[in-house]
Structure 1
Amino acid sequence: KDRFFPSLPTTFKNPFSVLLSVTEVLIESYKDLSDEEKNLSIRRINKSANQLFNLLENLLQWSMSQTGRIKYVPEKMDMGIAVASNVSLLKMNAESKNVKLTSEIKEETYVYADVDMIRTVVRNLLSNAIKFNKTGGNAEVISKKKNGFLEVSVIDSGIGLNKEDLGKLFRIDVQNKSIGTSKDKGTGLGLILSKEYIEKNGFFCHFSFLNVFRFFAFAFYFLQ
């Protein structure tokens, strides 16, 4: 924690700097900008706002988790809707990098899990799939029924990690220096929180970053 928290000011500063600079240009030169330039500015604002929201949400949930204030409340939930809502939320982020973001999980695909936790997991994994993807790449959510479980996988065509960095992914005491393909930095907290939430739901998760395609998988009790 002593190493993690000092890195937060820089993480917050980058998206705030974009928000301030872009809105300043819009205020001063709005009438002179073309429709294409205005649209680009709006997309940059949306991307920075999403980055800040995700960071603040992860920080809030992680702090509550560390102090035992998050309760595990499993129920019958629709995985198709949980994924679709996050795909819609992150659509503009994906479009800004020309990343094709899709899900093959249909509505009325029910599992037994904590809804809020799983929505957070899906949002974090999809955000990473966009951040570390190449321009014009793909990110998809797929599922497979296996031995009474629904295995959900998030696969993207992004950059991988070397073995040294792979070992640092889930450690809060080690600063993660991975940088997205658009030079945006992250804290690594989203993956730490996602792994913790999946394990709180009593299921397994698997992460692989060493190949050309990055792969995340987790499973839940499948309900007919």
Structure 2
Amino acid sequence: MPRDTPGPSLTQSAYENLRADLLACRLRPGERLKINELCAALSVSLGAVREALSRLTSEGLVIAEPQRGFRVAPISATELRDLTEVRIEVEARCLRRAIEAGSVEWETAIVGAHHLMTRLPEREPDDPGRVNEDWASAHTAFHRALVAGCGSPWLLRLRETLYAQSERYRRLSVPLSGGGRDVGGEHRAIMEATLARDADRACALLARHFEVTTLILLEAPTLDGED
């Protein structure tokens, strides 16, 4: 039975599980979140779920509506365009700083993160329309490694927030992208330019990498009528 008073570990567990479901779009944009059902599914108390949802609201992944409860933050073409533009600006700033100041250890971590990502299939073998969760974790680690030498905790925190918001859109783009996109080639080119300390090329490739995902979604019916 769920406990009445949530302990830190229960609240953290509820938060992590819900956040993972939101980023993976297992909880769909705009979906109403029924607290009692979430309590049962996560085997935690009402208090733990409410605290977790409050944290996710502060991150912009959940919306709290007075007298109506919580729902998953919606998506829209307008938000996607704005998010992509801001993300490119912030991520490029982080990457430039990392290229200027990054150490040999930073370079080694990038190579290691890229190597792990290439050893995992991007999509589930039994369900090509769904992202392989192990690859998704490695993908997050690779992009984080690229900017880890940035040296600005505030920039990196802002970058993490933008990454999380973008991840929902990226997940939705996977079944729409077909087999024509060479994601592995995009990542390899970004890594090579970064290790060569070619900031202009690395940032241009990174921007294009984000823009392709955005274009896939904007050209699909997924966001129609949501401007």
> Is TM-score (shorter-chain normalized) higher than 0.5?
no
Q: Please indicate the TM-score interval, normalised by the length of the shorter structure.
A: under 0.3
Compare the two structures and name the one with the higher helix fraction.
2
Compare the two structures and name the one with the higher strand fraction.
1
TM-score normalised by length of structure 1: 0.26
